[in-house]
Amino acid sequence: MNEFINGECLEEMKKMPDESIDFIFTSPPYANQIKDYGATGIKIKPDQFDNWFLPRAQEMYRILKSEGSFVLNINDKLDGKFQSLFVFKLVVMLVEQVGFHLVRDYIWYNPATPPNVFSRGTMGRTKKSHEYCLWFSKTDKWTFNMDPIRKPYGDRMMELFQSAPQGDRSANSRPSRHNFDLSRAWKNNGGSDPGSVISISNTSSNDTFHRLCKQFGIGHPARFPESLVEFFIKAGTNEGDVVLDPFGGSGTTAIVAHRLGRDFRYIEINPEYHEMAQKWYEVEFSSDAVYNKNMDRFCTDMLPKCKWSLLPFGFLYDLYKAWFPTVGLYEKPQTKTVFVARLTEFLKNDSNWNVANSLLSTDANNMPMPELLIAKYDLKNWMNKDYKGDNVDMICSPSIQTKYKGIYRNGKPSFISEGTA
């Protein structure tokens, strides 16, 4: 059951049962900043932050399940001329006084951080372009999923995997040219370890949430990127788990949690922010919004990767069904009829792709072989059924019909047939 709660998080968490939450992701008010909490402003100085946060952290610990985790997104501030140490003191407090274990200190690097007066050299320092995402566990066992957060291998690495037996790759063929024993091989795990530095620009200014804020005349709270929350929820939870954000703000954690098939508990003391988060949720998860957003993502992700300039609707639908679960979308894939209708509508004003109203004739120019997405997404209907070997290029070179209905790249091609279907 999902909940939007308007209240002070300390009091609201006290109402929650012990060990009822699987994962907490939150960003509390920055030290030394005034936050508009309804009718009162709270100014939390760096040297007061620990004492203010301690009872809230103790409640988080109590309601967290034994294998649950707590990720704290936090930034530090200058204390006079020098950087405050309150974040580091906070880590010690959470471990020694509350009982959490520090699993990993992640760095969120924001390349889009604007310059400030201290970046001009007058104070002997560069701009601050990162924040901390501190991962704590309650016990020595915690939920962690590597596969959903792996970084895709580059083209060169994929070539090495494809040329090695059974999806292995020779360890001495590394692009870095490091030499290893030939008897060793690495498995294709679907991607590499993403590491502990997460580079995401926080530049959203015209997304659904910001448009709603403008529409209703509400100043929006500071937001972290949806992809940042997505990274940690995928890594630290499973479908059906309960995710809490006790400083809910814009509702980003709640929105992403629901999108990934998790339940959420959202707490926010500011009634305007609470109302806006609910409006965003309602708009975001109307059926039309979900379908349009998924279609946008599919076209943006997949169409540029297609080698073929003529893409049959059947091929696109099979690709869509194979792609859908790889990006963590919780909603069910659309039927083929709905998919084609929405794709047609989506590409109506697209400058790169056109939807054909007639049958398209195929040849080596518009459907050159191989189309490697066939192997990457295991599109069995489009594999070369006459070839029984392991050569990827041959597998991805199917026998094709002379005409298809579908979409084609750029301007009107010479291969449109006069016939219709």
Helix (H, G, I), strand (E, B) or coil at 384: coil
Helix or strand run (H / E) with residue 36: strand 34-37
pLDDT in tens, 208-251: 666 666 666 666 556 788 999 999 999 999 999 999 999 999 89
In the chain, pLDDT over 90 holds for what percent of residues?
Answer: 44
Query: Which of 123, 160, 135 lies closest to 69 in space, CA to CA?
Result: 135
Backbone angles phi and psi of 391, in degrees to 5: -70, 120
What distance in Å separates the CA atoms of residue 280 and residue 204, rounded to the nearest whole number?
15
Mean pLDDT estimate for the chain:
82
Average pLDDT over residues 299-317: 93
Lowest mean pLDDT among 6-15, 37-46, 364-373: 37-46
Average pLDDT over residues 309-338: 84
Helix (H, G, I), strand (E, B) or coil at 383: coil
pLDDT in tens, 380-389: 999 999 998 9
Average pLDDT over residues 124-142: 92
- Entry field: residues in the chain: 421
pLDDT category at 419 given cuts 50, 70, 90 is very low
User: How confident is the model at residue 358, as a pLDDT?
Assistant: 75
CATH domain 3-150+193-284 topology: Rossmann fold (3.40.50)
User: How confident is the model at residue 133, as a pLDDT?
Assistant: 97
In terms of C-beta density within 10 A (0-12 exposed, 13-18 middle, 19 or more buried), how is residue 129 classed?
middle
Query: Which of 71, 42, 75 lies closest to 245 in space, CA to CA?
Result: 71
Q: Which residues share a beta bridge with 361?
A: 403
pLDDT category at 47 given cuts 50, 70, 90 is confident
User: How confident is the model at residue 344, as a pLDDT?
Assistant: 86
What distance in Å separates the CA atoms of residue 142 and residue 371, rounded to the nearest whole number?
41
User: How confident is the model at residue 361, as a pLDDT?
Assistant: 84
Helix (H, G, I), strand (E, B) or coil at 78: strand
User: How confident is the model at residue 122, as a pLDDT?
Assistant: 47
pLDDT category at 121 given cuts 50, 70, 90 is very low
pLDDT at residue 255 greater than cutoff 90? yes
Query: What is the value of pTM for the model shown?
Result: 0.65
Is 66 within 8 Å of 139 (Cβ atoms)? yes
User: How confident is the model at residue 203, as a pLDDT?
Assistant: 64
In the chain, pLDDT over 70 holds for what percent of residues?
Answer: 74
Instruction: Match 């034994």 to its residue by tokens.
Output: 66
Lowest mean pLDDT among 27-36, 144-153, 296-305, 317-326: 27-36
Six-digit token string for 330: 């919780």
pLDDT category at 125 given cuts 50, 70, 90 is confident
In terms of C-beta density within 10 A (0-12 exposed, 13-18 middle, 19 or more buried), how is residue 7 classed?
middle
Instruction: Name the maximum alpha-carbon separation found in the chain.
Output: 77
Q: Kindly write down the DSSP assignment for every residue of 3-28, as one continuous string.
A: EEEES-HHHHHHTSPTT-EEEEEE-P
More confident residue, 96 or 223: 96
User: How confident is the model at residue 1, as a pLDDT?
Assistant: 79
**How many other C-beta atoms can be found within 10 angstroms of the C-beta atom of residue 371?**
23
The answer to whether the peptide bond before residue 370 is cis (omega within 30 degrees of 0) is: yes
Helix or strand run (H / E) with residue 69: strand 64-74
pLDDT in tens, 106-119: 999 988 777 765 44
Q: Kindly write down the DSSP assignment for every residue of 118-145, as one continuous string.
A: GGGSTTS-----EEEEEEEESSS-----
User: How confident is the model at residue 337, as a pLDDT?
Assistant: 82
pLDDT in tens, 68-86: 999 999 988 776 678 888 8
pLDDT category at 324 given cuts 50, 70, 90 is confident
Looking at residue 50, the DSSP 8-state letter turns out to be: H
What distance in Å separates the CA atoms of residue 278 and residue 266, rounded to the nearest whole number?
10
User: How confident is the model at residue 66, as a pLDDT?
Assistant: 98
Six-digit token string for 223: 């937001």
Is 104 within 8 Å of 196 (Cβ atoms)? yes
pLDDT at residue 38 greater than cutoff 50? no
More confident residue, 301 or 332: 301
User: How confident is the model at residue 206, as a pLDDT?
Assistant: 46
Per 3-state DSSP, the chain is made up of helix, strand and coil in percentages (nearest 5) of 35, 20, 40
Six-digit token string for 30: 């920055």
> Residue ranges of the domains in the chain?
3-150+193-284, 152-190, 289-409
Dihedral over Cα of 71, 34, 203, 272: its sign: positive
Q: Which residues share a beta bridge with 400?
A: none
